[in-house]
Structure 1
Amino acid sequence: MFWVCELKVYLFAKQIAEIFVILYKQQIQLMDDDFDFNDDFQRFSESISRFENMIKNDTPGFFDVEEIEYLIDFYMDKNQMSKVEKIIEIGESLHPYSIELQLKKAQFYQNIHRPNKSLKLLNKLEQIEPTNIDLLYLKASVYSQLRENKKSIEYYQKLLPLVEEDELEEILMHIAFEYENLRNYHEAVNYFKQVLKNNPGNETAVFELTFCYEITNQLEEGVKFFQKFLDYHPYSSSAWYNLGTTYFKLGLFEKAIDAFEFVIAINEHYTPAYYGKAGALFELERYNEAINTYFQVFDIEEPDAQIYHNIAESYEKLEDYTQAIQYYKKAIALNPIYSDAYMGMAVSYNELGQNKSALFFAKKGVELDEKNADFQYIFGDILKANGFYEEAILAYSKVIQLLPDTKSIWLDLAETFREYLDIEHAIEVLHKGLEQHADYALYHYRLTAYYLMKNDITDAVKHMEKAIHSDASEVTELVEFYPECINFEEIILLIENIGK
């Protein structure tokens, strides 16, 4: 597309300029971070040594509040909680009125999963310093740990007028997450939008917005938001990507492809966009284009099992089963327990008439994921096609247990019984199916055929009438399954009267 090429040219020049700025800033930041870390470590390394010697020799010593705080953080980061507890004990004996150390103690309780004890201490401290930012933040976090989300929100909101502007974004994100935990997605959306207003580059907020719109079935609202957002921030790759996924979920695959191509134009190394584009092409049955799009990922990163599987599935749709098998094998080589790849190989071998291989791989797929109803269904089909009727009946029966709403399974199970045993067993199966799915037209059409095979015209006509009443448009199913039905005058008369 012309607009993609034009955008690429512009972005190339823009990104070259930006790269130098970013690299410079990163270098400065790294130098600052290293300096801060080394400076702190140099300042307190002697404190760490003294503390270790105290423990080793069981001797007393003195540490000021700043030293105690550093030691608590140092050992907390190393998850050496017994030492943290010892330092807190020393700190309380030396500085019994230090609010800072009491907050560290509350944080310690939270980290060792004793939130109620932490909260009890924080309640006391809040009476002394009700606007202490660290205290309010910790209390909000503890309430979140206790799943008291409304109280957590209350304390995060208390922080909003107190924190610096550069800390506001983090608090707003916390509030949004708490609303998500409450399943109040409408409020969560409002806070994520506030975050993006202040920082359009917050990718987490972008993805969480998509989640909220999807879970509330407001995908169209999601499209409107991202379209408006992109009017002001046209180079946001995460926004274009989420617009693409939203279009995809709405079944608007052409528009999804356009959005994913914008992502690739902005950042050609954004691999999820290639997957999204290929997936949309697959849904549009443009399988060769989907395969080519997947191959583009190989230039960016090493292929994984999923991409090999997706390529294989596309070849399978093209009925190029030999190529499909090769790529399924590549997927399995990278992931030996990839059940979908085993079932894909089973289907491909079955289409090539290689029955033993089909059965082997279908069995392997089912062993890896025996509760997958689709796998059991495919396994049953392959077993039946190869004359293993008892095993096919068992597989079909598992489908009914795992996914009882699958209407077609009763038809396949009934036909398997008819081929393996007799019509009576097939009829019995379909009547059980009608108990689960009353008045399902295809069951009645199939029963019509079975009763005609028995020359039971009365029951055949009864089910034919019910079938026509449920769905007259499916009458062709009867004729295709049992062409001999046109030899029965009663059936022909019922068909001719459809719509009269």
Structure 2
Amino acid sequence: RNGVGESKPGDFSLRIEYRGEQIASLPVRIQITPQDWLRYARSSGNQKVQIEYLRRAIAMNPQDANVRRMLASLYFQAGMTREAIAQYQEILTLRPDDAAVLAELAKCYLKSGQNEEVIRTSARILRANPQDDDALVDMALAWGNLGNWNKAISSYQAALKVRPDNPVAIFRLGEAYEKTKQWEKAAEQYRLVLEKVPKADHVAVALADVFLKIGNFDEAIRWHREVVKRQPKNATAYANLGLAYGGKGQHREEIENYRKAIALNPRDPVIHFNLGAAYEKGKQEQEAVREYQNVLALKPNDPDALERLADLHFKAGRFREAAPLYEKVLKTSTRKGTIHSRLGFAYAELKKPALSVENYEKARRYGAKDPEINRALALAYTKMGKTKESLVMYEKLAATNPTAEVLNILADAYMKEKLYDKAVRIYRKLIELNPKKAAYYSSTAYAYGLNGDLDRQIEYYQKSLKFDYEDDEVYMNLGAAYEKKGLFQEAMKAYTTAYELNPDSTKAARKIPQMKIRIIQQKQKQ
């Protein structure tokens, strides 16, 4: 090139030498045709080189649809979908009704996620040939990608009317049935595929999974066993076998298969979690704790594992371990009321009343309805010295759950706060609950006495003695009430009875002679 006699760039010449000296130069013009570039492309094993040669061929002959199709196919294989689409579109300007090009273009649109274009292009194919089952399958895939599973099913069914033995369409129809929760129909499609292609392992997996989803555990076990026979290192199949055995209540087999799955895939947190749940179900607490810890080692903020592990510590009374786990659970949990109530209890047990109150209050704000929360909150308020808040909680408890225990607590609280009228009202409610319990009458009497109502105090001590006539303490209190009222004769009688019931009572022994003196003094005044 650029030899002697060259007239312009691009010309070539043949130089003739004799004994090392040039004796002549013959001008030569070389012209490379599109067919040359096509031949070079076909002879190369390098995809990038092939693409470059075909591009040069097209640059020299833009109307060559066949070369454009070759280039589009290479682009598609190289993952250059946008460039492939551009070439197919150019071809269609030359040959608008080329069904093969339209089919390849639809595949490009599918790969690039342009589902509306897939549907439009497939419809164009079907207008020319309604029996094109490949176009129907592509259209069905696009409808499925768009979430319109009913139209996807219709397109798959239409494809199978054209070619009933199309295993791809049968399998995809099964998948579409799964998406619409038509499990039995899905299973039937998968069975049909396996009849035609017995070695289709992925279809056996799909069939096994369908049976697991519908709770047909016997069939799920049968097909998952078939899967592990074909694929002995399929950890997911062993894990699903564990689920199926768990569904049947076969605890030992459930754990055995989870452990096989973990041996094959030790870094799958889901399998560790399911094994933990199986251990928990079987009351194997230590093993369950270990597996939930394994989950958190692989996935530190897994909310389910955090809560399960926290619950195990909580039930075992390990509140120091449970509390920080529940705090982490709160960040993502939708069950904040429940979690806060457990934290409230845990902090109460850890002697942290302020944190206990804080969490119980939050539990109530998040809608927790357990009456025990109010009781625990009231107790926590009491420990913090918040008497007013404590009383409010006890009152709410009594209004919503007026058990004897709750009413007793509320009455005691009123007595401590010297709210004797309110205490009397609660004691009388207790009497309504159990009219034959002497202690309720004596407590009512005591409250009346502190409130200065001696007549009612005496009345209720007398009622108490009707149900427990051997209570020396009540006789002593009755005697004191009589004494305050100036009824010394009745007081001496009550003290005497108390002494007879309890001869060790020094107070009763001392009161008897005192009353005798008071009686004499009273008579002298008269």
The structure showing larger relative contact order (alpha-carbon pairs under 8 Å, at least 6 residues apart) is 1
1:343 pairs, out of 215, 218, 239, with: 239
Is the contact between residue 342 and residue 362 of structure 1 (CA under 8 Å) also seen in structure 2? yes
2:262 is aligned to: 366
Contact 2:194 2:203 in 1 (8 A): no
Structure 1: which amino acid aligns with 2:62? P
Shift of 1:253: 1.7
Counterpart among 344, 350, 358 of residue 459 in structure 1: 358
What is the DSSP-based 3-state SS (H/G/I as helix, E as strand, rest coil) of the residue aligned with 2:190?
helix
Q: Structure 1: any 5+ residue segments left out of the alignment?
A: 1-96, 98-126, 469-474, 494-500
Q: Output one character per residue of 1:82-110: Cα deviation in whole Å (capped at 9) or x when no partner.
A: xxxxxxxxxxxxxxx9xxxxxxxxxxxxx
TM-score scaled by length of structure 1: 0.58
Secondary structure in 1 matching 2:253: helix
Instruction: Determine which of 159, 169, 178 is the counterpart of 1:273.
Output: 169
- The structure 2 residue matched to 1:316, chosen from 212, 228, 233, is 212
Q: What CA deviation, in whole Å up to 9, does each residue of 1:48-71 have, x standing for no partner?
A: xxxxxxxxxxxxxxxxxxxxxxxx
Q: Percent identity?
A: 15
Q: CA deviation at 1:325?
A: 0.8
Output the CA distance in 2 between the equivalents of 1:212 and 1:231: 24
Q: Which has the higher helix share?
A: 1
Give the superposition deviation at 1:350: 0.9
Q: Structure 2: which amino acid aligns with 1:210?
A: L
Corresponding position: 1:444 with 2:344: no
Q: 1:411-462 deviations in whole A, cap 9, x for unaligned?
A: 233324434562332221233456xxx4x34263343121243355422246
Give the residue type in structure 1 aligned to 2:309: L
Report how many aligned residue pairs link the two structures: 343
Matched, 1:264 2:156: no
Query: What CA distance in whole angstroms lies between the structure 2 residues aligned with 1:430 and 1:252?
Result: 41
Larger displacement relative to structure 2 (289-298 or 377-386): 377-386
Give the TM-score normalised by the residue count of structure 2: 0.55
Question: Does structure 1 residue 410 correspond to structure 2 residue 306?
Answer: yes
Relative to structure 1, the CA distance from residue 175 to residue 344 in structure 2 (aligned partners, 3 Å threshold; closer, same or farther) is: closer
| Rounded Cα–Cα distance in structure 2 between residues aligned with 1:321 and 1:249 | 30
Q: Which residue of 2 aligns with 1:201?
A: 100
1:333-363 deviation line (CA, Å, top 9, x unaligned)? 2222222221111001111111111011111
Is the CA contact 2:38–2:57 (under 8 Å) kept in the aligned structure 1?
yes
SS at match of 1:201: helix
Q: Report what 1:290 is aligned to.
A: 186
Across the aligned residues of Structure 1 and Structure 2, the Cα RMSD in angstroms comes to 3.9
1:379 to 251, 266, 275: 275
Of structures 1 and 2, the larger Rg is shown by 2
Would you say the 8 A contact 2:360–2:373 is kept in 1? no
Q: Which moved more, 1:237-246 or 1:294-303?
A: 294-303
Partner of 1:230: 126
- What are the Cα deviations for residues 234-285 of structure 1, in whole angstroms up to 9, with x where unaligned? 3222222122222223322221111111121121221121111111212222
Contact 2:310–2:325 (Cα < 8 Å) also in 1: yes
Equivalence map 1:97-108=2 (5 Å):
none
CA deviation string 1:302-338 (max 9, x = no partner): 2533323322222222222112111211222222222
- The Cα shift of 1:383 comes to 3.0
Picking from 200, 221, 230, the partner of 1:304 is 200
C-alpha change, 1:152 and 1:338, in structure 2 (3 Å) is farther
CA contact (8 A) 1:414 1:430 kept: yes
CA contact (8 A) 1:241 1:259 kept: yes
Q: 1:382 & 1:428 partners in 2: Cα distance? A: 24
Aligned to 2:143: 247
Q: Identify if the C-alpha distance between structure 1 residues 255 and 162 changes in structure 2 by more than 3 Å, giving closer, same or farther.
A: closer
- Matching of residues 1-12 of structure 1 within 5 Å: none
SS of the residue 1:442 aligns to: coil
Instruction: Work out the CA distance in 1 between the residues paired with 2:343 and 2:86.
Output: 62
Are the aligned partners of 2:212 and 2:244 in contact in 1 as well (CA < 8 Å)? yes
Q: Is the 8 A contact 2:167 2:193 kept in 1?
A: yes
Residues 366 and 379, structure 1, Cα contact 8 Å, conserved in 2: no
